[in-house]
Amino acid sequence: MNDLQFLWDSRERPPFGSKRWLVVWAKRALQFRPLMTLMLRRRKLRARGMEVGRLSVVDTLDLKGPGTNFSIGERTFIAHNAELVALEKITIGSRVVINDRVTILTGSHHVGDPAWRQFRKPVRIEDYAWIAVGATILPGVTIGYGAVVGAGAVVAKDVPPLAVATGNPATVRLDVRPRDLDYDPVIFLAPFEAWVGRSKGALVTSPDTFPSGEKTPMSHEKSTS
């Protein structure tokens, strides 16, 4: 099932000719071009060799490195001026939010090396993680399931699942978020909301709405060390 088929099958269905019907179809007409822009952008990213899951919105164009070094799950949002430098693999799970001016780095230089040699390490961001405005993720870091990186934080070490990391250098508070996270950060974006509607949006956020055979979300039981 592709994205357009999903939106069609999950669409709000007000009575034909009603005031709500007119409003809904006016929204869909107004949001048609933005929706097609999202679809086209994702197609271009996939043509570069990137893995991009269903309904994920990759608004940034600042993606450096081979396309095959990027893997993005389903229903994930990456803001328009985030910077991702994939000298090594960047793996991003499902229902992740990466806000404006976030920087994710996979390479740097050894400060204590007389030859200033470069090193590269992969970065992994698990399902339901939220990377807030202006945060920096350094090479080799794993952000665990449901973890939050606060605005402006600089993260050089792994953040455990459900923890919150803030500051520079980042300090971590454990088990801040609930374990039963169940929200969809992209379904209420205007191009999608025009189809599913605000009242119905909550009904199509469950993984059960996807047909069997799709990728299993990153497990929060996996070690982040």
| Confidence (pLDDT) at 209 | 44
Distance from chain centroid for Cα 23? 30
Confidence of residue 188 (pLDDT cuts 50, 70, 90): confident
| Confidence (pLDDT) at 225 | 35
| Confidence (pLDDT) at 192 | 92
Distance from C-alpha of 91 to C-alpha of 126, rounded to nearest angstrom: 8
Do 27 and 65 belong to one domain?
no
Do 134 and 151 belong to one domain?
yes
Q: For the chain, what is the domain count?
A: 2
Do 168 and 60 belong to one domain?
yes
Do 82 and 131 belong to one domain?
yes
pLDDT in tens, 85-140: 999 999 999 999 999 999 999 999 998 999 999 999 999 999 999 999 999 999 99
Query: For residue 88, which of 69, 67, 102 has the smallest C-alpha distance?
Result: 69
Q: Is the pLDDT of residue 215 over 60?
A: no
The answer to whether 99 touches 133, Cβ cutoff 8 Å, is yes
pLDDT in tens, 42-55: 999 999 999 999 99
The answer to whether 20 touches 11, Cβ cutoff 8 Å, is no
Do 145 and 177 belong to one domain?
yes
Confidence of residue 3 (pLDDT cuts 50, 70, 90): confident
| Confidence (pLDDT) at 61 | 75
Q: Is residue 123 part of a domain?
A: yes
Do 99 and 68 belong to one domain?
yes
User: What is the average pLDDT score of the chain?
Assistant: 87
| Confidence (pLDDT) at 199 | 57
% of the chain at pLDDT higher than 90: 76
Distances (CA, A) of 133 to 34, 71, 88, 98: 24, 21, 23, 8
126 CB burial (10 A radius; 0-12, 13-18, 19+): buried
Query: For residue 34, which of 67, 73, 80, 70 has the smallest C-alpha distance?
Result: 80
Enumerate the active-site residues: 109
pTM: 0.83
Q: Is the pLDDT of residue 26 over 50?
A: yes
Distance from C-alpha of 193 to C-alpha of 201, rounded to nearest angstrom: 7
| Confidence (pLDDT) at 211 | 39
pLDDT in tens, 7-16: 899 899 999 9
Four-CA torsion 206, 207, 208, 213, nearest 10 degrees: 170
Q: Is residue 135 part of a domain?
A: yes
User: Which pairing describes strands 130-131 and 148-149: parallel, antiparallel, or unpaired?
Assistant: parallel
Distance from C-alpha of 80 to C-alpha of 104, rounded to nearest angstrom: 14
| Confidence (pLDDT) at 2 | 81
The amino acid present at 34, given as its one-letter code, is: P
* Residue 198 lies in domain: 1-55+191-205
Q: For position 138, which CATH number holds?
A: 2.160.10.10
Do 13 and 76 belong to one domain?
no
Do 1 and 46 belong to one domain?
yes
Q: Is residue 215 part of a domain?
A: no
Do 160 and 90 belong to one domain?
yes
Q: Is the pLDDT of residue 169 over 50?
A: yes
